[in-house]
């Protein structure tokens, strides 16, 4: 039934021309519903992301905007900014904490710099599939308990969306085994566990904001990076990268973050609309993201990249190497959090 609902939702978006459009950054607040005066005090959500306006993350944000503006009758207007126009993940999260921006949707990896527990999702080869990820992130107690840690940082976590399984690209060689990572200068997100994992594989990792990544690859500052296929294709990394390997080494969730100041100033009805809109738009975003991730690997090959389909044996070998760094992060992430997430994965498998 849920799949039918999502399919109908996608169809309605396609017919409304919402999907695929560049989307506007700022729109006039919708007039009041017929027979109703437009609200007097309109409040604005400035929503910024790092990915570009072709990415399913941005299309999910447009769906969030549509729902919130319609259901609050224009009392809340959402301005959408993509491609890092409002800054990188850390800058935007700090702006939410200060109340100078209202929304951003980073991966959990940079969030871990504010709430270390979120680094549980950075454990390489933790999540076995998208289906299990959905059950853990959308249905488990521990995923909500992690979101409940955000208000102490002046952040509200409205919902989990999907970045997806991360894959390696680089300009030096086709990577098929753990040994092939040796000495590769790999950009990682700004996350200590990612850095430790790639060092264990023999690579030379460097943390870098997403907005600096394309130029760094173009100038050879780094040899490669790791991101889901949709990001690799839609951000045109095939223009500056020769090799892609389906390592699927980490499943990255996004979290829809709202500033606590904006949340606290919202009525209970508006809070319910904001949370529901984030959840419903997340269903659409995940569907679009999965279509994109399965669709674009061939396009990368056509664009001239060598595509190495990494075998399960090779991934197991990579996992054996990256498992060696986990002990040093157990206390930082929290043993209870790790145990609860692993139990939720077990129950969902
Ligand atoms: O806004 C984009 C960022 O949220 C980031 O998470 C995208 O996966 C990403 C990366 O590699 O930085």
Domain-located, residue 94: yes
Q: Which long-range contacts (CB under 8 A, 24 or more apart) does 33-42 make?
A: 33/73, 36/73, 38/73, 38/74, 39/72, 39/73, 39/74, 39/75, 41/75, 42/74, 42/75, 42/76, 42/77
49 lines ligand 1 (CB under 6 A): yes
Domain count, the chain: 1
Residue 62 lies in a domain: yes
- Neighbouring C-beta atoms of residue 179, cutoff 10 Å: 13
User: Is residue 17 in a domain?
Assistant: no
pLDDT in 10s for each residue of the chain, 349 residues: 444 444 444 444 444 444 433 344 554 554 455 666 667 789 999 999 999 999 999 999 999 999 999 999 999 999 999 999 999 999 999 999 999 999 999 999 999 999 999 999 999 999 999 999 999 999 999 999 999 999 999 999 999 999 999 999 999 999 999 999 999 999 999 999 999 999 999 999 999 999 999 999 999 999 999 999 999 999 999 999 999 999 999 999 999 999 999 999 999 999 999 999 999 999 999 999 999 888 899 999 999 999 999 999 999 999 999 999 999 999 999 999 999 999 999 999 9
Is 92 within a domain?
yes
In a domain, 295, yes or no: yes
In CATH, what number is assigned to the domain containing residue 321?
A: 3.40.190.170
Ligand 1 lined by 92 (C-beta under 6 Å): no
Indicate if ligand 1 lies below 6 Å from the C-beta of 87.
Answer: no
Is 252 a pocket residue for ligand 1 (Cβ < 6 Å)?
A: yes
Establish if 20 belongs to a structural domain: no
With respect to residue 29, please indicate whether it lies within any of the assigned structural domains: no
Domain that holds residue 187: 42-348
Query: Whose CA is closest to 293, among 251, 335, 339, 346?
Result: 251
In a domain, 145, yes or no: yes
């Amino acid at each position: 039934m849920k799949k039918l609902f999502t399919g109908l939702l996608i169809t309605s978006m396609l017919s409304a021309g919402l999907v695929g459009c560049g989307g506007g950054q700022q729109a006039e607040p919708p007039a009041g519903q017929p027979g109703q005066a437009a609200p007097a005090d309109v409040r604005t959500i400035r929503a910024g992301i790092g990915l570009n306006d072709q990415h399913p993350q941005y299309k999910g944000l447009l769906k969030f905007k549509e729902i919130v503006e319609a259901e609050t009758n224009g009392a809340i207007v959402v301005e959408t900014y993509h491609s890092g126009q409002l800054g990188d993940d850390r800058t935007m999260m700090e702006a939410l904490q200060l109340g100078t921006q209202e929304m951003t949707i980073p991966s959990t990896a940079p969030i871990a710099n504010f709430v270390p527990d979120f680094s549980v999702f950075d454990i390489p080869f933790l999540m076995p599939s998208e289906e299990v990820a959905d059950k853990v992130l959308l249905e488990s107690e521990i995923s909500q308990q992690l979101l409940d840690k955000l208000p102490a940082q002046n952040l509200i976590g409205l919902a989990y969306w999907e970045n997806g399984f991360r894959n390696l690209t680089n300009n030096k060689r086709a990577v098929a085994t753990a040994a092939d990572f040796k000495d590769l200068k790999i950009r990682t997100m700004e996350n200590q566990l990612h850095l430790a994992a790639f060092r264990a594989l023999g690579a030379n990792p460097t943390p870098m904001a997403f907005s600096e990544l394309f130029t760094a690859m173009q100038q050879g500052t780094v040899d490669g990076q790791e991101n889901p296929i949709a990001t690799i294709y839609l951000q045109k990394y095939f223009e500056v990268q020769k090799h892609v390997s389906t390592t699927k080494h980490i499943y990255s969730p996004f979290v829809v973050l709202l500033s606590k100041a904006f949340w606290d100033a919202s009525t209970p009805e508006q809070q319910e609309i904001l949370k529901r809109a984030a959840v419903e738009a997340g269903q659409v975003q995940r569907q679009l993201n999965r279509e994109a991730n399965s669709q674009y690997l061939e396009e990368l090959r056509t664009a001239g990249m060598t595509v190495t389909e990494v075998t399960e044996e090779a991934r197991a070998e990579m996992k054996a190497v990256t498992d060696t760094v986990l002990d040093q992060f157990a206390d930082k992430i929290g043993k209870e959090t790790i145990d609860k997430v692993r139990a939720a994965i077990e129950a969902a498998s």
